[in-house]
Chain A
Amino acid sequence: MAHISFENVSKSYSTLNVIRDINLDIHDGEMLILVGPSGCGKSTLLRMIAGLESVSSGAIRIDDRVVNDLDPRDRDIAMVFQSYALYPHKTVLENITFGLRMRRMAGDEILRRAKQASMALGLDAYLDRYPRQLSGGQRQRVAMGRALVREPKAFLFDEPLSNLDAQLRVQMRMEIRALQQKLGVTSVYVTHDQIEAMTMGDKIAVMNRGGIEQIGTPLDIYDRPANEFVATFIGSPMINLLDAEVRGDGRSAVTPGGLVLPTGTAALSPGEKVRIGIRPEHVRLGDDGAPGIVEAVEQTGLDTLVLVRTSGTAMRVLIRERRYMERGQKVLLSLPPADMHVFSSDTGARR
């Protein structure tokens, strides 16, 4: 168990800056999710914790010890790779215990831990098999087992579920989270899947282009995105973003098409150019409000996603129930002021 911190950490490959001035604290026992679009530097950041990538500047600390120049094996961390990186010529048992053997642990302690981990992961029946004789889900568990037996200071996960089918993914993400909470081991979990991000972490760090856009609890980030990027990246279906200009009263804004949007509590000056974000589930279809016309309807079985055109803009509306609607149907949209997110048009930052 450990506390991991980044202080002004940067990384570049020759002229390419892939990690830009990161400051980050991961507390003891916490599970931090690194989420962001592909190529934003999540894996690089994770691999810097592991010692698989060098640090160009700044300091990474594990338990207040600077580890910048420490070999991976001396950092006492375990990692689960996206490809699992199991040793193909070793059995499940050998895969799981290799790290313990390398650390010259006594044979009976190795066996005890292997047994414990394989019980926890439901692998006991497969200990003599080779990775190629296992299903994807089982391989994933072996990769987990290899990390578990080490009883390391921290777990690092690099998109460990992305090779599994959707059902297994849901199951594994619950199992991983439960295991992490039971063991209380500090963990960093990389994913580009925002559902995983929302459901698995104590904290989320949203990354973009090598920097961290926002850190916070999942609901924090969902309810108060720090900027346009975070607002659009987190949340599915995607948030509606509308260009608008603040009206004379300073409490509402109007789109070029003439749609008037309340802006809630943000302190805005008249004439300011803003972008208003409103999540699809916050738009209500009701008895009054702005008139619109249904353009498309998607039924998921659980809920209904409707695309409504109003005052020249298309708005995604999510209805938390099954609703039968038709293209061309006339509806009225109401927009509760409390659920509006206002971003500066220039910087994208929250106002």
Chain B
Amino acid sequence: MSAAMSRKLRSRLSLIAFSAFILIFNLGPILWGILGSLRPREEIMRFPPQPLPSSLSLEHYAAIAESGFLGAARNSLIYAAITVVVALVAGSIAAYALDRLRFAGKAVVMFLVIAGIPLASGAAALIVPSYLYMTSLGLSDTPWVLPLVYIAYNLPTAVWVLKGALGGLSRELDEAAAIDGAGRLRTLFEILLPLCKPAIGAAALFCFVGAWNEFVAGSVLVDNPDLRPVQVSIYQNMGYFGRDWGPLLAAATLAILPIIAAFLVFGRLLIAGLTKGAVKG
């Protein structure tokens, strides 16, 4: 084996080792959590920790099923689904306007959209004004309030991502469609958006994960246990079950599943775009 080849091999091996380390470092807590949720209660906090549970049990899952977790999960799924649908539809129309039309104040609108993006992740700063606003509209503690707020938080990101994708599409597509007799909305939904699948996937993921993981607004804007989102429910389980980590880990495990599912669904759009998106004339 030549020196160059062995050097190449060594650098590749160290790259693999490094990646494996990062992977374990990241996935370790999640794996520990999942395993923990399946352990018998008395094993969870045992020291020294056992790598594998002595037996698997679903007792913690049974416990959270009785505590209202499933209802909260269903609420959050609905909130997130509404957020994704509305943010994509409204976001793509807004993105089209910002990219393809000329109108007064466009630069200002675009600036506001960009400025709105960081607010989606730092939503705590918005909670007091949001609370006051929603209360004055009589919306707090109603089924509408959380979807509304989540849409507002996530819309700027969706607009920005979709505008970037639309901007990459040739104007001649619009023009060909216009000559073919398609109106603006038809052009957007039938010609342009099908060519933006990766961006749609990305925007949908952002919105879904944003809505699913949101905690602050969910804990402030609704009181009714029937309207409670999943993250708030998990937090309340912490108090409800005291130091009982089993049900908490079970709830956290379940809370990850929809995110994985979202990645499987929307991530497919992302990948599809990466591999076959480039359809140049």
Contacts and interface: CB of A to CB of B under 8 A. Distances in A.
A182 interface: no
A33 to B, nearest CB: 21
Contacts of A126: none
A73 interface: yes
Contact of B181 (A83, A87, A103, A132): A103
A185 interface: no
A222 interface: no
Given A73-B179, A99-B181, A146-B180, A85 B186 contact: no
B207 interface: no
Interface residues of B, number: 19
Interface in A119-135: 130-132
B175 interface: yes
A86 B279 CA distance: 10
Given A85-B173, A87-B173, A87-B191, A98 B180 contact: yes
Contacts of A150: 180
Interface stretch (A74-82, A200-208, A244-252, A282-290): A74-82
A93 to B, nearest CB: 14
B80 interface: no
A146 B179 CA distance: 11
B51 interface: no
Nearest to A77: B179
B256 interface: no
- In this complex, the interface size class of chain A, counting residues with CB under 8 Å from chain B, is 20 to 34
Given A52-B175, A85-B172, A85-B175, A99 B281 contact: no
Interface string B160-199: 0000000000101101111111110010000100110000
Contacts, number: 68
A192 interface: no
A264 interface: no
Nearest to A97: B180
B195 A102 contact: no
A236 B177 CA distance: 38
Contact of B179 (A79, A86, A87): A79
A83 B276 CA distance: 19
Binding site secondary structure of chain B: helix
B178 A73 contact: yes
Given A85-B170, A85-B176, A73 B182 contact: yes
A103 B276 CA distance: 31
A89 interface: yes
Interface string B6-24: 0000000000000000000
Contact of A52 (B178, B191, B195): B178
Contacts of A99: 179-181
Contact of A102 (B175, B180, B281): B180
Interface string A130-146: 11100000010000001
Given A83-B281, A132-B279, A88 B178 contact: no
Contacts of A98: 177, 180, 182
B257 to A, nearest CB: 32
A81 B176 contact: yes
A89 B194 contact: yes
A84 B281 contact: yes
A89 B195 contact: yes
A100 B175 CA distance: 16
B178 A71 contact: yes
A85 B187 CA distance: 13
Contacts of A139: 281
A81 B180 contact: no
Given A99-B180, A102-B182, A146-B180, A85 B281 contact: yes
Contact of A88 (B180, B183, B279): B279
A194 B194 CA distance: 39
A90 to B, nearest CB: 8
17 contacts: A50-B175, A51-B179, A52-B179, A71-B178, A73-B180, A73-B183, A79-B175, A85-B172, A85-B175, A85-B281, A86-B176, A86-B281, A87-B191, A88-B195, A132-B276, A132-B279, A163-B281
Given A52-B178, A85-B172, A130-B279, 6 more contacts: A50-B179, A73-B181, A89-B195, A98-B177, A99-B179, A102-B180
